[in-house]
Amino acid sequence: MWEQIRSNQIRSVVLTIGMGALLILIGYFLGLYFFDSATGGLIIAILVWAILSLIGYFQGDSILLGMSRAKKISRDDHPRLYNVVEEMKIASGLEKVPDIYIIDDPALNAFATGRDPNRASVAITSGLLQKLNRDELQGVIGHEISHIKNRDVLLMAMCSILLGTIVLLAWYGSRLLFFGGAGSRRSSSSGGGGQAQIIILVVALVFMILAPIFAQLIYFAISRKREYLADASSALYTRNPEGLASALEKLGASTGQLKSANKATAPMYIINPFRRKGMAASDLTSTHPPISERIRILRAMAGASFNDYDQAYRQVHRGGRGVVPAASLAAGTVPISTVKLEGEAGEPNEIQRARETSDAMWRLSNYNTITCDCGAKLRVPPTFKEPTIKCPHCGRTHQV
Amino acid sequence: MPIAAWVVIGIVVVLLIIFIAIYNGLVRLRNQVKNAWAQIDVQLKRRHDLIPNLVETTKGYMKYERETLEAVTKARNIALQASSAGAGERAKAEGELSSALSRLLAVVERYPDLKADQNFLALQEELTSTENKIAFSRQFYNDSVLRYNNQTQMFPSNVVASMTGFKAGEFFEVTVAAEKEPVKVSFTE
């Protein structure tokens, strides 16, 4: 599984260089057209990209978490979630427990972010948290942790910034080309070469339109492959592919869209937050493989190793190339864990999980919860200043 | 100096660099095995710490389960004593403790009041998670040992390993049959 990370990196580096080449070409055309010199355009393109990348590198995770209004939790806020993350951290051999966030949203989704394994976070929506039982939660968290372990998170963040820069420059560039702008200045300054001028204009225009599309296709290719690998790693860590499969089933059945997601952040989530209902085809313009296919692969696994995942993948795809790099396949046989650990009898049901999650959310919004002897729960808002409060149900008074 | 001498020096330097790289790789793997072992240790200790609390909480509710509770306490004390012993004996003691615990958690089903106790629920979550963590840390330890052993046995790193005294690591096997069997509960009081 360590060789896999390396082979991943090589492939991704090649694809990222492809995107970088697109950025440089855009800068080249912009410069050629607007400043008469390719260098000026190149400098602008690289400067924009560098500034965005620096922001993304140092603040990307806080921006993403802030945008999705995620709240950081400690062990006491939600012991089960905290424990499951710790379990997956141990199984994956990460050195540090990532920060854990809950997004107060009924939509079902989860994502991981952070620039390296030592500064990483996982976030999960409250909707998903109450929907999943322990095994399923383990599968989902295992998937997110393996994004951290395989160092997908930084790469995907950097790729999305590169993509964003290309889209941004192409958008402004093509608008400026259309509506004249600097174009008139250029034609007066260089007199004779009218025809060459038109050719450059047409090439530049076509390129401005195509570049964002190409960049996006490359981006999706990187992202999809990594989703499969994260599924495979999650099955390996938990030794239980059924957990993730069953979680994905629940995720696939929901139709709610996450309010706070946007197109650039979509690949960070465990399922595509913008999917349409019933969409099953794996087309080129999706950041994620179709859920039904991911479930079929997981359920076809005979063991829990990468090798088993690769075979299941081939089986679902009827031959062809596998998805796991060859170097990591030699890991030997890994049985699926059939030993059920004790305590399952006491596993909370969905109502209890919903209660537990909403308690955590109230607490995170600084509400004070008082349980009255009559069984009522009083939620005291942080703006409540009185020293005592009366239970509206039975009339007992409580200290705040 | 003749070219041949330079070539020889070049080859020696390259070999030395390869040797150092392989050696460092082996050290890194061996440290990972050590860390993984320490992690198992942490989780086993955590389980030992949880048990007195668990027994205390359940005692009030379980009037008829004295034997089960005593078995857990006894198994814990044996496991505590075995924590300084070798891996084999230790695995056995911890296995006994696991099966005593699962017997206890199985009879909990018969006490609805206990199952509703907030204190107990929190403890049960901790215990379940600790059991999982023990299993996962053992899994990671065995994976690490496998990788380390592969490195010490495969060419060319096996040459470096035998020259500098890297020995193969020991897997942490569950030898106790009881831990692998499903728990049987007899409903006789």
What pLDDT score does A185 carry?
47
A69 has pLDDT over 80: yes
pLDDT in tens, A129-167: 988 888 899 999 999 999 998 888 888 888 888 888 888
Judged by CB atoms closer than 8 Å, whether chains meet at B105 and A90 is answered as no
A6 interaction partners in chain B (CB closer than 8 Å): none
Mean pLDDT value across residues B25-33: 90
Measured in whole angstroms, the distance separating CA A287 from the mean position of its chain's CA atoms is 10
pLDDT (mean) for B47-60: 86
- Separation in Å, CA A383 to CA A169, A379, A400: 47, 12, 12
**DSSP state letters, A143-165:** HHHHHHHTTHHHHHHHHHHHHHH
**Which of B108, B139, B179 is the best mutation test for A, with the most CBs of A within 10 A?**
B139
Amino acid at A275: R
Q: Which of these is catalytic: A144, A242, A344, A350?
A: A144
Find which of A190-194, A361-365, B134-138, B162-166 is predicted with most confidence, using mean pLDDT.
B134-138
- Tell me if B135 and A342 make a contact (CB, 8 A cut-off): no
- Whole-number Å distance between alpha carbons of A359 and A347: 18
In the prediction, which pLDDT does A328 show? Answer: 52
Q: What is the pLDDT of residue A102?
A: 93
Handedness of CA B54, B57, B63, B66 (dihedral sign): positive
Segment of A202-216, A229-243, A294-308 carrying the highest mean pLDDT:
A229-243
β-sheet bridge partners, residue A378: A370
Kindly tell me if the per-residue pLDDT of A124 is higher than 90.
yes
Q: Are the beta carbons of A101 and A70 closer than 8 angstroms? A: yes
Compute the average pLDDT of residues B50-64.
83
Determine, for residues A93 and B129 on separate chains, whether the beta-carbon distance falls below 8 Å.
Answer: no
CB contact under 8 A, A343 and B105: yes
- Strands A70-72 and A99-103 turn out to be antiparallel
Q: Looking at this protein, which amino acid is placed at residue A62?
A: S
Q: Which H or E run contains A103?
A: strand A99-103
Is 60 exceeded by the pLDDT of residue A1? no
B3 Cα to chain A: minimum distance (Å):
37
Tell me: pLDDT of B143 over 70.
Answer: yes
Chain B CB within 8 Å of residue A343 CB: yes
Q: Is A346 within 8 Å of B124 when comparing Cβ atoms?
A: yes
Residue ranges of domains in chain A: 1-365, 366-400
Mutate to test the interface with B, among A92, A340, A342, A369 (most CBs of B within 10 A): A342
> What residue in B sits closest to A342 (Cα-Cα)?
B102
Q: How far B105 CA sits from the closest chain A CA (Å)?
A: 6
Residue A44 has pLDDT above 80, yes or no: yes
Contact between B127 and A92 using a beta-carbon 8 Å cutoff: no
Q: Which residues contact A240 (CB under 8 A, 6 or more apart)?
A: A135, A138, A139, A304, A336, A337
What's the average model confidence in pLDDT over A74-94? 91
Angle in degrees, CA A15, A219, A271, rounded to 5 = 135
Nearest CA in chain A to B131: A341
Which DSSP string do the residues of A288-315 spell out, in sequence order? S--HHHHHHHHHT-SSSSHHHHHHHHHH
| Nearest partner of A299 among A384, A242, A218, judged by Cα | A242
pLDDT in tens, B114-124: 877 888 888 88
Quote the minimal CA–CA distance from A338 to chain B in Å.
9
Mean pLDDT of chain A: 78
Q: What is the CA radius of gyration of chain B?
A: 25
CB–CB contact A92 B140 (8 Å): yes
Name the residue of chain B whose CA is nearest to A88's CA. Answer: B136
Between A97 and A372, the more confident residue is: A97
Query: Residue A234: which of A70, A84, A74 has the closest Cα?
Result: A84
Distance CA(A156)–CA(A154), nearest Å, equals 5
pLDDT for position A87: 92
Angle, CA of A99, A105 and A107, to the nearest 5° = 110
Secondary structure (3-state) at A390: strand
B64 or B123: which leads in pLDDT: B123
Q: Which fold has domain B3-180?
A: de novo design (two linked rop proteins) (1.20.1440)
Of B124, B131, B121, the C-alpha closest to B97 is B131
Of the candidates A230, A267, A272, which has an alpha carbon nearest to the alpha carbon of residue A255? A272
pLDDT score of A137? 93
Contact B43, B129 (CB under 8 A): no
Does the pLDDT at position A204 exceed 90?
no
Tell me: the pLDDT tens digits for A269-289? 777 666 554 443 344 445 677
pTM across the whole model: 0.79
Which of A79, A91, A344 comes nearest B139 by C-beta? A91
Tokens describing residue A163: 């993509």
Q: Answer for the pair A129, A78: CB distance below 8 angstroms, yes or no.
A: yes
Annotated catalytic, A144? yes
Report how far residue A147's alpha carbon sits from residue A159's, in angstroms, rounded to the nearest whole number: 15
Of B101, B46, B40, the closest CA to residue B73 belongs to: B101
CB A115 within 8 A of CB A61: yes
A85 pLDDT exceeds 90? yes
Name beta bridge partners: A121.
A99, A113
Token pair belonging to A320? 């062809």
Inter-chain touch A345–B180, beta carbons under 8 Å: no
> Which has more pLDDT, B35 or B91?
B35
Say whether pLDDT at B181 is over 50.
no
d(CA A236, CA B15): 37
**How sure is the predictor about A99, in pLDDT bands with cuts at 50, 70 and 90?**
very high
Residue A100 pLDDT > 50, yes or no? Answer: yes
Cα(B38)–Cα(B45) distance, integer angstroms: 11
A335 touches chain B (CB under 8 A): no
State whether residue A100 is helix, strand or coil: strand
CB pairs under 8 A between A and B: 72
B115 contacts in A (CB within 8 Å)?
346
pLDDT at B113: 81
Q: Which residues of B touch A (CB under 8 A)?
A: 32, 36, 39, 43, 101-102, 105-106, 108-109, 115, 121-122, 124-129, 131-133, 135-137, 139-140, 143-144, 146-147, 179-180, 183
Rounded to a whole number of angstroms, the distance between the first and last alpha carbons of chain B is 94
Contacts of A341 in chain B (CB under 8 A): 128, 131-132, 135
Contact A102, A71 (CB under 8 A): yes
Phi first, then psi, for residue A377 (nearest 5°) are -110, 125
Asked whether the predicted pLDDT for residue A181 surpasses 60, the reply is: no
Among the listed residues B165, B145, B175, the one whose alpha carbon sits nearest the alpha carbon of residue B39? B145
Nearest residue of chain B to residue A338 (CA atoms): B180
**Chain A: residue whose CA lies nearest to B111:** A346
Is residue A90 within 8 angstroms of chain B, CB to CB? yes
User: What string of H, E and C letters represents the secondary structure of chain B?
Assistant: CCHHHHHHHHHHHHHHHHHHHHHHHHHHHHHHHHHHHHHHHHHHHHHHHHHHHHHHHHHCCCCCCHHHHHHHHHHHHHHHHHCCCCHHHHHHHHHHHHHHHHHHHHHHHHCHHHHHCHHHHHHHHHHHHHHHHHHHHHHHHHHHHHHHHHHHHCCCHHHHHHHHCCCCCCCCCCCCHHHHCCCCCCCCC
Q: What is the ipTM of this complex?
A: 0.79
Q: How far is CA A311 from the centre of its chain?
A: 26
Structure confidence by residue, pLDDT tens digits, A308-365: 888 888 888 776 566 666 545 545 556 666 544 434 545 777 777 888 788 888 888 7
Rounded-to-integer distance, Cα A114 and Cα A65, Å = 10
Q: Is the pLDDT of residue A9 over 70?
A: no
DSSP class of residue A387 equals S
The chain A residue lying nearest B103, using CA atoms, is A342
